[in-house]
């Protein structure tokens, strides 16, 4: 358990890169499908139920949401992709915002890719994995909602996903996670510590 993350506080929501906090220090961005459990993961890791807004309607995160961990460390909740029932024009706007952030943000030091353990490695997930490989940006994968499967089935999925990702030939870490049961929290905290330090 790392109490540092429990001090997290919301900074702002930015619809454009020009509205974001100063591009200093280090940021870890949380990416994933709209219904994969990004906001729940952030809330669980910070022990703050209402820090990242959770909605029963996938796609609620429509901007870049910034959270301060320390003066030099931040989390960023990226717009969810792939699922939300919104107009194409809005989806394109989200895509452009994410792409601009991912390519231009100097303080971005790592990605935490959140996938529902029951539906891992969608086309969008692969795009993010390949982008991290291309840019050599460290990647940690959370297979969320592990409580929805038996331990054996969840472990099986973890092994299958690890096997599929071997072909990427890029150093990444992956684990099971459940916001509901608080499974894997210490493991994520350890991974975040390493990512902020810039270690494998």
Please give, one letter per residue, the 3-state secondary structure of the chain. CCHHHHHCEEEEEECCHHHCCCCCCEEEEEEEECCCCHHHHHHHHHCCCCCCCCCCCCCCCCCEEEEEEECCEEEEECCCECCCCCCHHHHHHHHHHHHHHHHHCCCEEEEEEEEECCCCCCHHHHHHHHHHHHHCCCEEEEEECHHHCCHHHHHHHHHHHHHHHHHHCCCEEEEECECCCCECHHHHHHHHHHHHHCCC
The pLDDT, as a whole number, for residue 89 is 77
Token pair in block for residue 47: 């022990």
199: pLDDT confidence band, cut at 50, 70 and 90?
low
CA distance 172 to 19: 31
Cβ–Cβ under 8 Å, residues 109 and 36: no
pTM: 0.92
The pLDDT, as a whole number, for residue 16 is 85
| HSE (side-chain half, CA atoms, 13 Å) at 100 | 16
Could you give all domains of the chain from N- to C-terminal order, each with its CATH number?
3-197 (3.40.50.300)
CA distance 129 to 167: 11
The pLDDT, as a whole number, for residue 200 is 46
Cβ–Cβ under 8 Å, residues 36 and 83: no
CA distance 128 to 122: 10
Q: Give me the percent of the chain exceeding a pLDDT of 70.
A: 92
Taking residues 140-153, what's their average pLDDT?
A: 97
The pLDDT, as a whole number, for residue 104 is 94
Q: Give me the percent of the chain exceeding a pLDDT of 90.
A: 68
Give residue-wise pLDDT tens across range 54-99. Answer: 555 444 557 899 999 999 999 999 988 765 566 777 777 777 888 8
């Amino acid at each position: 358990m790392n109490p540092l993350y429990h001090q997290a506080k919301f900074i702002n929501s930015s619809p454009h890169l020009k509205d974001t906090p100063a591009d200093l220090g280090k940021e870890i961005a949380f990416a994933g499908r709209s219904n994969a459990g990004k906001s729940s993961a952030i809330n669980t890791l910070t022990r703050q139920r209402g820090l990242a807004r959770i909605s029963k309607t996938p796609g609620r995160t429509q901007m870049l949401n910034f959270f301060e961990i320390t003066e030099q460390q931040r989390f960023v909740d990226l717009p969810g992709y792939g699922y939300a029932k919104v107009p194409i024009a809005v989806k394109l706007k989200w895509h452009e915002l994410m792409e601009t952030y991912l390519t231009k943000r100097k303080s971005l030091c790592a990605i935490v890719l959140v996938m529902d353990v029951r539906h891992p490695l969608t086309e969008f997930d692969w795009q993010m994995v390949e982008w991290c490989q291309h840019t050599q940006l460290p990647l940690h994968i959370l297979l969320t909602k592990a409580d929805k499967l038996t331990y054996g089935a969840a472990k099986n999925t973890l092994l299958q996903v690890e096997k599929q990702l071997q072909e990427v030939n890029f150093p990444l870490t992956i684990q099971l996670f459940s916001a509901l049961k608080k499974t894997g929290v210490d493991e994520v905290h350890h991974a975040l510590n390493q990512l902020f330090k810039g270690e494998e």
